[in-house]
A = this chain, B = another copy of it.
């Protein structure tokens, strides 16, 4: 039973969680402003208000950035759980395409009750990931960890499996699906081709060119590591 939040507050907390990365580093006002599509001045205002609350969702040092408190992390994970459960539900039960679910979930995540969250999870059989491969936090805030790496950072010639893809660009998602770039697909980056595009063998297909832009939305793990729905 965390304190009462608004849609705006929830979105700030989730943004801080997602921008601070696995090491929970400080997040800058500018980064938040870009992610949330508001002006930096608005971010400062919100962070000040959040920081002076008692108890507070954030630790904020003027001019140095913000990070989540335990309470803030708890709430951010709860909203993220809502988001990802809703995406899987829309996709699996209501026939939404994987490029359509994000926008809808971005709103609904703030307005479903705990009861509805639980019924959705039960209906789906307590899924572990959303349609883009992102891990759904447990109800108690636990997150199954996984050391995934951006495809652009992955070494050549080492077999990898797609673990997740960014869900924020519908066009990119449609293009990925067309090329077979979905979670679980295996791939290998061909050596010496890391300029404007990557030469990649996707699954069992012949090697294809993959733009850096598209590649930037893809995260991978080592071939054997993926638990569950591997396909490559």
On A, residues with C-beta under 8 Å from B are: 90, 93-96, 100, 103-104, 107-108, 110-113, 115-116, 119-120, 123
Residues of B within 8 A of A113 (CB): 103-104
A89's nearest neighbour on chain B, judged by CB, is: B94
**Bound: A96/B103 CA distance, A:** 25
Question: If A94-B123, A123-B94 touch, does A112 touch B116 (CB 8 Å cutoff)?
Answer: no
A-B contact pairs, 20 of them (CB 8 A): A90-B116, A90-B119, A93-B93, A93-B123, A94-B116, A94-B119, A94-B123, A95-B119, A96-B119, A100-B115, A103-B113, A104-B112, A104-B113, A104-B115, A104-B116, A108-B108, A108-B111, A108-B112, A110-B111, A111-B111
Contact between A111 and B107, CB atoms less than 8 A apart = yes
**Bound: A160/B95 CA distance, A:** 41
Shortest beta-carbon distance from A122 to chain B in Å: 8
Residues of B within 8 A of A112 (CB): 104, 108
**Bound: A95/B95 CA distance, A:** 20
A94's nearest neighbour on chain B, judged by CB, is: B119
Most buried by B among A94, A103, A110, A112: A94
**Bound: A120/B95 CA distance, A:** 10
**Bound: A22/B159 CA distance, A:** 68
Add 14 more A-B contacts to A94-B119, A94-B120 (CB < 8 A): A90-B119, A93-B93, A93-B123, A94-B116, A94-B123, A96-B115, A96-B119, A100-B115, A104-B113, A104-B115, A107-B111, A108-B108, A108-B112, A111-B111
